[in-house]
Structure 1
Amino acid sequence: LVELECQEWASKKIDIKYEVRNNRKGYKAGALKKVNYDACLMTRIQKMSLDYHFKVEQESGSFMHAFFGFNGTAGVWRVSAINESGGWKDRTTVEDMDLAVRACLKEWEFLYVGDIRVKSELPSTFKAYRHQQHRWTCGAANLFRKMGWEIVTNKGVSIWKKWHLLYSFLFVRRVIAPILTFLFYCVVIPLSAMVPEVHIPVWGLVYIPTAITVMNAIRNPGSLHLMPFWILFENVMSMHRMRAALTGLLETAHVNDWVVTEKVGDLVKDDFDVPLLEPLKP
């Protein structure tokens, strides 16, 4: 069907070509091109974190042939990869990540193609961003709870890949990181300032947080002056992410709550111009 459709478009002088892939690469993931990254302070802060996520986490995972999460906005699946992995499941609020983990256990390979840009709109209100982060954090922690033992007992992948999936990708980044961030920045550091007996070494108080901050900002040198706001914003969000992680890990109430992320394009009528969706300046 796809081949016939391509032939029909080609007969109309449209530059299109039908290709069949003959390898085991399960999906391609492109990078997001944020169309409203400069709409407000919050979207500029999000761009800093997302650029680090795509350039460092996604691209390095692809380069090292390791696992990296599927991006539903800028990703393309092979149908055979979906079917062999068991199809889409709605047991968590991160169905795309769930499918990607199962595909990894079936030894499908993932590719990150950074030169392909897919337009996407960032949430520009705190309410929308908070709902999005709750869904992502809670869903990932809940996926760790549901798939942890399945990953351990899987005999089709190497111990290294199991370790990366279980410990690095799911446990540390999706469960420990939100909890530790809140406890360290919002509890331990303020406590050390108020209680003289609580002492934090300089390397823990200054060097490590500074290194993490610089790594997130290095891709956006024009936004370095926003780093104080980024730190404050992330500290505020750390409490929300910690609660979401515990909700998913313990599978308490609201673990499967799904609230669609509101975008400006969703709130504006069709006969209005949406300034946030105008083409970016070169």
Structure 2
Amino acid sequence: MAGAAAVASLAAVAAGWLDLDGPTATATLRRWWPSSSSSGGGRVFAAGPSSPLQVWAHMQVYKLSIGAACGLAWPSDRVIVQVLDDSTDPTVKDLVELECKFWANKGKNVKYEVRNNRKGYKAGALKQGMLYDYVQQCDFVAVFDADFQPEPDFLIRTVPYLVHDPRVALVQARWEFVNPNEFLMTRIQKMTLDYHFKVEQEAGSSMFAFFGFNGTAGVWQISSVKEAGGWEDRTTVEDMDLAVRVGLKGWKFIYVGDVKVKSELPSNLKAYRRQQHRWTCGAANLFRKTGREIMLTKEASFGRNLYLIYSFFFIRKVVAHVVPFMLYCVVIPLSVLIPEVRVPVWGVVYIPTAITLLYAIRNPSSIHFIPFWILFENVMSFHRTKATFIGLLELGSVNEWVVTEKLGNSSCTKPAPQILEKPPCRCWDRCTISEILVAIFLFFCATYNLVHGSDFYFVYIYLQAITFLIVGTGFCGTSRSNS
């Protein structure tokens, strides 16, 4: 840890981005640490427009986040909390401003800022937030989404890395989830994200290789952000975009897995689909836009450039999405219809078994959910494959930004008992035709294999068809925020 004098010389600023689009809203907190005295406190808000239950749920989100920001263990005269409000609802703006005044009356220095447009969405708000005069005195910035709740010692455990090594640009903390046992869908999300943090982020940090910023629960050195050109809104993954540009400048990243920040997993299937579309499509589009830049840059080593192009982007952001869908939902089902097509045993049995064992070792308490995880992830690979090609080819919805709905149920101590819930809405409102068509195709292939085949592929194909049908008809998770 850096010396006490060095740490004491830091001041902090926290900033939040609040966005409301239709019936849902989310927010992002950020923090800066300047070299002169500042004061601050913080909070975030997200709310639905009509139902009192919806409003109360979203109020829980911003109150919890802002309360956590204001509870950070740091000298009160050396922390500023900036709330960047992009909401379009006057009622929401009034509530956010009122909450800021509440914390200001308790001795916290809250900077409540609004824009007259929503250009660039989150990236635009973050970029605008960096331009205020009081930010110029700051050395570091921490970023939190609206549903994230840092522990009081978050700054104490992350800032010293940046102070100790001036070439460290980012300290990324791990996400911890408040609702992983709500449904089967949230359990599966937790397993996937656990793998992402434990394997991808931690391995990248341990080997001093590049890893991406997760958009929240991280602390940036402001000089690195400025050197890389600041926040950009050219894709829907402004966090990854910034990390790539900073990494190409030769800065180092550190992942601290034992520092955990509470957050909420999406429990609405459509919200989860949109989140995955934004993440996948944005990453593929960023690959398209930065590939040439990465290859030609002279500031980073050849090894890092090759790692970015091949491992980080091509393998993890393209191949990892396309191959599972093509193999398990196209090639294997078609092989039962075309006798000339033979899938090797290692492709059908050995590789899936190896992947299953890797996840089982990483999640021993969730080993009984592994079959469900495989089937559900294959369904999501269908959407991720579409999003990947939309991003690579820059098709119509490449820059589609829909805020991920969160219900603000992090304070609930009793998880919902259901695994699958029948949404209380009209069938055609919750159905996804593309998934239902894939389910019909898989049912046909499975039945053909059962009648005419000599192997037992139909067992897997039937299970995958049922999963596509369940997800395609919306019988998964919740259907609306007050359910």
Q: TM-score surpassing 0.5?
A: yes
Match of 2:349 in 1: 206
Confirm whether residue 63 of structure 1 aligns to residue 231 of structure 2: no
More helix per residue: 1
Unpaired runs of 5+ residues, structure 2, are 1-9, 12-35, 39-73, 79-106, 108-151, 416-483
Partner of 1:259: 402
For the pair 1:98 / 2:241, whether they are aligned, the reply is: yes
CA distance in 2, matches of 1:279, 1:118: 18
Contact 1:52 1:215 in 2 (8 A): no
Paired residue for 2:85? Answer: none
Q: SS of 1:252's equivalent?
A: coil
Q: Distance in 2 between matches of 1:102 and 1:140?
A: 14
State how many pairs are aligned. Answer: 270
Match of 2:385 in 1: 242
Change (3 A) 1:7 1:174: closer
Note the C-alpha offset of 1:119. 0.6
In the alignment, does 2:411 pair up with 1:277?
yes
Cα distance change on mapping 1:129 and 1:103 into 2, 3 Å: same
CA RMSD of aligned residues (A): 2.3
Counterpart of 2:446 in structure 1 is none
In 2, the alpha carbon distance for the partners of 1:279 and 1:142 equals 40
The answer to whether the Cα contact below 8 Å between 1:73 and 1:118 also exists between their aligned partners in 2 is no
RCO (CA 8 Å, sep 6+): is it higher in 1 or 2?
1
CA displacement, residues 41-77 of structure 1 (integer Å, 9 cap, x when unaligned): 0000011111111011100100000000102222111
Secondary structure of 1:77's counterpart equals strand
CA distance in 1 between counterparts of 2:76 and 2:283 reads 43
Compare the two structures and name the one with the higher strand fraction: 2
Q: Does 1:189 align with 2:328?
A: no
The alpha-carbon deviation at position 33 of structure 1 amounts to 0.6
Identify unmatched segments of 5+ residues in structure 1: 266-273
How does 1:135-150 map onto structure 2 within 5 Å?
Answer: 135-150=278-293
Q: Name which of 251, 255, 262 aligns with 1:119.
A: 262
Code of the residue aligned with 2:263 in structure 1: it is: S
- Which of 149, 166, 170 is 2:309 aligned to? 166
Following the alignment from structure 2 to structure 1, what is the Cα–Cα distance between the partners of residues 218 and 75? 25
Cα deviation code 1:121-141 (max 9, x no counterpart): 011111111000000000000
Most deviating of 147-156 and 223-232? 223-232
CA offsets 1:99-154 (integer angstroms, 9 cap, x no match) = 00000000010000011000110111111110000000000000000000000000
User: Given the alignment of the two structures, is residue 30 of structure 1 paired with residue 173 of structure 2, yes or no?
Assistant: yes
State whether residues 174 and 257 of structure 2, in contact with CA within 8 Å, keep that contact through their aligned partners in structure 1. yes
Identity, % of aligned positions: 60
The CA distance in 2 between the partners of 1:134 and 1:241, in whole Å, is: 6
Q: Tell me whether 121-130 or 70-79 shows the greater mean CA deviation.
A: 70-79
Q: Structure 2 length as normaliser, TM-score?
A: 0.53
1:43 is aligned to 186
Q: Which amino acid aligns with 2:364?
A: P
Q: Rg larger in 1 or in 2?
A: 2
